[in-house]
Amino acid sequence: MGDGLEKRNGPREGAVEPSVKPTAGYGLDASGSVTPRQLAVKRVAVFVDGFNLYHGMHEAFGRKYLWLDLQALSLSLLKPDQKLVAVHYFTARVRNDPQGAARQALYLGALKATGVRVVEGRFQEKPQECKRCGATWRSYEEKESDVNLCVGLMEAARLRQFDVALIVSGDSDMVPAVKAVRHMNTSLRLIAAFPPKRFSDDLRRSVHAHLRIGTAKIRQSQLDDVVSKDGRDYQRPGYWH
């Protein structure tokens, strides 16, 4: 997560809405014919596109719910025949914003303390120039987070570390990796969990099923104001209230 740095992959939520609740590959067989294989507990790994989630939440709620407990949120999305085995969070460290970077560091520390695996990309400096006046300045563009998520998803699929993957993103850039995983192992199930204000029709069509993360799930999945681990405390920034 970062403050004031935009990365708006995928169209905003708007006219395109999924017409039905997800079923294929996510719930048990609605016919009532359930095999022993279906009754077996399925391992779920969650892959979170940090910036897509952050900007969707910020657009929907402001700073109110940014202290988000990804473990609790992931558990709230599971079906009765599923167990959570891993939560992977993909982001990059904020640059050129010391206060935002400090808030992000607290959040990443809190996530790690709760068992979330944090994978960091980077921000790359990008020179800008005004075509009218010739003024120049530096901006920063987030790099590698999407690639890291796609690689992480494919590697976990190759190693068969999950039966079901929840992809928390509304970014169509995930589609090639989703297709590759489906081709690699047809027994794996891939579910898109769209953050608030984020949706991709291309991603929806590429997965087995999809869902939207609702306001109630976000509100009920907040970290304690202070998260402690190994003698270190990570306190929710006052700015995030």
Annotated domain spans of the chain: 36-240
User: What backbone phi and psi angles, to 5 degrees, belong to 5?
Assistant: -115, 115
Pick the range with the lowest mean pLDDT from 21-25, 96-100, 185-189, 226-230: 21-25
Instruction: Report domain 36-240's class.
Output: alpha beta
From residue 108, give the alpha-carbon distance in Å to each of 24, 67, 200, 203.
Answer: 34, 10, 27, 27
pTM, entire model: 0.79
- Residue 14: both structure tokens together: 């708007």
Radius of gyration of the chain (CA): 19
Helix, strand, coil share (%) of the chain residues, nearest 5? 35, 25, 40
pLDDT tens sequence across 122-173: 544 545 456 666 665 454 455 578 899 999 999 999 999 999 999 999 999 9
Task: Quickly state the pLDDT bin for 97 (edges 50, 70, 90).
Answer: confident
Q: How many CB atoms lie within 10 A of CB 144?
A: 17
Q: What mean pLDDT comes out for the span 88-108?
A: 93
Q: Report the alpha-carbon angle 169-171-176, nearest 5.
A: 105
